[in-house]
Amino acid sequence: MQNETVIAGFGGQGVLFVGKVLAHAALEVGMEVTWFPSYGPEMRGGTANCTVIFSNEEIGSPQVLNPTSAIVMNQPSLDKYEDMVVKDGYLIVNTSMTNREVKRKDIHAVCLPATEIAEEIGDKRLTNIVMLAALIKASDFFGQAEMETALKKSLEGKKNDLVAANMIALQKGFEFRA
């Protein structure tokens, strides 16, 4: 099994971080992984995306043309990536930052007000983790336990104080009902 995921949004939305968490989860279960970041020169407020590929076999290239899944955190990302997701793939949409519904009917779309959910927790910067949890729940790529371990490892050290809030965000994403 090879999964190719694109995570896209504005700089400052935690796009690259959530890609690292996904990569850590794949490593947790012994998979091969690539994590490839890309961002505009503006960084915060500019565009940012990253690709994460995980597979049971060696990965030939970190380039993703037609992702198996995409997390789109804003309108420009929805417009860009919706048509690229493979048939029967997964599209996770932050309806807090988009102004239209998903057009495709041949993919599994999960549309959730992730920013509002994160704000209810107390920090809109948790939007990315809410969305990642929604993808994992919909796709069943990994279990919640693997995601919790990956999140803790991603926050080890200087960011240990952020673990509790991120765990709540992860739980809220898993609990969301579309």
Label residue 158 by pLDDT band (50, 70, 90). confident
Chain-wide mean pLDDT for the chain? Answer: 92
Instruction: Copy the structure tokens of residue 112.
Output: 């959730």
pTM reported for the whole predicted model: 0.93
Give the CATH class of 2-175. Answer: alpha beta
Q: Which residue has the tokens 């789109």?
A: 72
Q: Are 112 and 94 in contact (CB under 8 A)?
A: yes
Q: Is residue 40 predicted with pLDDT exceeding 90?
A: no
Parallel, antiparallel, or unpaired: how do β-strands 32-39 and 47-55 relate? antiparallel
Radius of gyration of the chain (CA): 15
More confident: 90 or 140:
90
Give the dihedral sign, CA 125/134/18/164.
Answer: positive
Output the CA angle 62-22-57, nearest 5 degrees.
50
